[in-house]
Structure 1
Amino acid sequence: MKTLLKTARELKNMKVREVSQQTGIDQALISKFETGTRKPTRDQLPKLATVLEIDLETLMVAWLKEKILYEIGDEEFALKAMKVAEEEIRYQAKSVKKIPSSLQKILTEIDALKTKLDTFREFDSYRITQALELEYTFESNRIEGNTLTLRETDLVINEGLTVSGKSMREHLEAINHQEAIGYIKHLMEKNSLLNEREVLSIHNLILRGIHPEDAGRYRKVQVMIKGSTYMPPQPFMVSKQMEDYFIWYETNKNSLHPVLLAAEMHERLVTIHPFIDGNGRTSRLVMNLVLLSHGYIIANIKGDYDNRMQYYQTLEKAQTTSDKEDFLLFIAQIEKESLERYLDIISQ
């Protein structure tokens, strides 16, 4: 752990003072982390990983290893106890991550479609991609009540025109969302880490010019979700829950199927509801960033009444009962349909 932190800091040519300023962790503590006289807390690990650009999973493993060694030391039965613990952990992991047969079936179908898609990559067209991204902006905004039609959304984004009878907010929502799509594609191409800074940047784009004082900032007040019985956490809990959110991502990103990982990241973010406005759009963009990063395509949830109601109902069930199966199935079905449509377009 101590070597890992010091080496990462030196590779970035950073002083201990700079790491302290960017993480909010006392400078003396960081020095002690590097000498091994103190250990970071679990909450401090994501901050150190982000600033020092260390894979959080690597950092967590090193931290847990030292914690285990400190606890058991040279106890006589240490190795035997660790073997028993390993078997128990494996059993728990297996039971927790068992996927229902209905969900596994659609994931298998999705993987077959993706395999087929990979053989058609050379036929990818910028114009097709541009049209599908425009549809995604239109549908994602329609879910949230934006009344611009698909054609009007095109005129606003690609022609720079103003549509009579539509509010300035609706125009900005279209422009901002399209720019946010460009941003998540940029992150995907750079293979950037999904962390707090990037999620705040996505949200900043969504609310830019609409609520500039709230763009890219966690809420400081309690909120309610219109039409839902679910009550989001109090504002003082948001920062901690967001830390846990990124820890969960780093812990599960290499073990969950990418479609399930994307759906979970969506549901978990919108359940925390960390922002005054723009939670849905930001959560869907994070979901699609995960999908794009794994070679899938944008899962475009339609904004018509039936799809919107199914989306909200499965999401609320996940939030109020902790039963996520219906929501995961819904997102998987959307991704499957998006893949089928894309393949149908490019293979003609």
Structure 2
Amino acid sequence: MAHTLDIIDKLFNDLNALQPIKSEDKNRLDKKFRLEFNYNSNHMEGNTLTYGETELLLMFDDTLGNHQLREYEEIKAHDLAYHIIEDLAKDTERPLTEQIIKNLNEIILVRPYWKDAITPDGHNTRRQIKVGSYKEYPNSVRLQNGEMFEYASPTETPAKMQELIEWYREEESVLHPITLASMLHYKFVCIHPFDDGNGRIARLLMNYVLLKNNFPPVVIKSADKNNYLRALHIADLGDYEALITYVAENAIWSLELSIKAAKGESLEETGDFVKEIELLKRKASSQKTPKSPLVIYETFNQIKNKLWRSVNGILQHFDDLFNEAKSIYKLNGWNENFETRTVSTFNIPFTKEVSDKPKALKIFGYDIYSEDIEKLEFVNIMYGLRGSIKPENLSLKLEVNFNLYDYLFKIKLNDKSIFESRKIYKEIFLDNEISEINVVTQKHILEFLKEKMN
């Protein structure tokens, strides 16, 4: 860790030697950090806006896309919070307080809302998430190994937060900024003082410390979430070096990027080209197209060949856990078309071939000119879970509801919706979208299996 901090200090000195940076280069750098931080910090917590959609929203206030209104609001609110910590960091006379942290939580959560929760005795419930105030209920989590990780209790939280502020003020002028930022992040997460938004607030506070010490912000990439969580879990065991080193390594990226900007060099990275292409694709597919038989047919083929093929393929990993499976396909709730198969071969053909000739416009053998298409369903039911106390089945369904200018699709596990989104017609499925849906589906299937096989 000491060696990594030495590298940090050298890069920090190199950057300072290049000051002042030209205004146009600073604007390029600020835009880069703003987009990267807002996208990654929110994406890590489940926000489904892509990098391109985040750029459209923040740079052009363009809300084209097919996401819940709250997701757009979260990005805008998080961006406001980011600007606030930038201003706070510049104000050397204003100390960090609990009220500032509460205000940040109120900003990023936008307004109170209801969220699914689990009671201490394991029952499902719904709870109102309040904004800007400390939690009223325990928010401990169950780890992958089944153990419960206990955050501070609601009654402990006010005192713990007061202790955190006192600790920060005592160590502010003692610890290296990277160490101080890392430990403030960790100590805050251990308290988990709010009902929601704790991860985002922790990363905002971490960057408040860095910005106050004239360091560039650190961006924890959502694609590197596993390593980030692993560093936090190691810290839970009392070994803080892994977390500090992890933050330091990400700070090196930020410092090197800042040095490039100060030298007037390009800030593009390997993945930026892909991001730009994604943005162009979004723009190209943003025009509204009304529903028609041909549009339905094209939408069906995209869903079948890209989305359902990918999601359905997840089930092959669980073949050996079930006795048999059945595939069902429905159009407007018409008669079920299915075939029973052994799970050893998971290549499921459609019961009725879809014509290759667009003129026929048939789906599952039905001529879709004969009736207005409103609903499409793909279902796989796996029977007889081995190792469960009683016979258990697993049903995975992709349900599509067609509207005038868009369609709503839902992934359901045993009739419980685990993912849903809305798309306009002719909008393509991007690979990262499919990956996100697969991750959510895999997670819920594993949770179901672990629960039933305990």
> Which TM-score tier does this pair reach, normalised by the shorter chain?
0.5 to 0.7
Letter in 1 for 2:154: P
Q: Does 1:209 align with 2:111?
A: yes
**Corresponding pairs, count:** 243
- Which digits, 9 at most, give the CA deviation of each residue in 1:254-292, with x for residues without a partner? 111011000000000011000000000000000000000
Counting only pairs closer than 5 Å after superposition, residues 1-348 of structure 1 correspond to structure 2 as: 103-123=1-21, 124-191=25-92, 192-209=94-111, 211=113, 214-225=130-141, 227=143, 229=147, 230-304=149-223, 307-319=224-236, 321-347=237-263, 348=265
SS in 2 for 1:122: coil
Aligned partners of 2:178 and 2:210 also within 8 Å:
yes
Post-superposition offset of 1:317:
2.1
Inter-partner Cα distance in structure 2 for 1:242 and 1:261: 16
SS in 2 for 1:299: coil
What TM-score results when the alignment is normalised by the length of structure 1?
Answer: 0.67
Change (3 A) 1:284 1:122: same
Post-superposition offset of 1:186:
1.0
Stretches of structure 1 lacking an aligned partner (at least 5 in a row): 1-102
- Which digits, 9 at most, give the CA deviation of each residue in 1:163-215, with x for residues without a partner? 33211121111101100011001111222211111111111111113649622
Letter in 1 for 2:106: N
Inter-partner Cα distance in structure 1 for 2:31 and 2:82: 10
Letter in 2 for 1:157: L
Aligned partners of 1:143 and 1:303 also within 8 Å:
yes
Change (3 A) 1:203 1:104: same
Letter in 1 for 2:69: M
Higher helix share: 1
Structure showing greater radius of gyration is 2
- Which digits, 9 at most, give the CA deviation of each residue in 1:47-69, with x for residues without a partner? xxxxxxxxxxxxxxxxxxxxxxx
Post-superposition offset of 1:226:
5.9
Post-superposition offset of 1:161:
2.0
Q: Highest relative contact order (Cα 8 Å, sep 6+), 1 or 2?
A: 1
Question: Kindly, what percent of the aligned residue pairs are identical?
Answer: 30
Letter in 2 for 1:174: I
- Which digits, 9 at most, give the CA deviation of each residue in 1:226-251, with x for residues without a partner? 64642212111101111111111111
What TM-score results when the alignment is normalised by the length of structure 2?
Answer: 0.52
Aligned partners of 1:291 and 1:298 also within 8 Å:
yes
Stretches of structure 2 lacking an aligned partner (at least 5 in a row): 114-127, 266-454
Tell me which residue corresponds to 2:356: none
Q: Pairwise CA RMSD of aligned residues?
A: 1.6
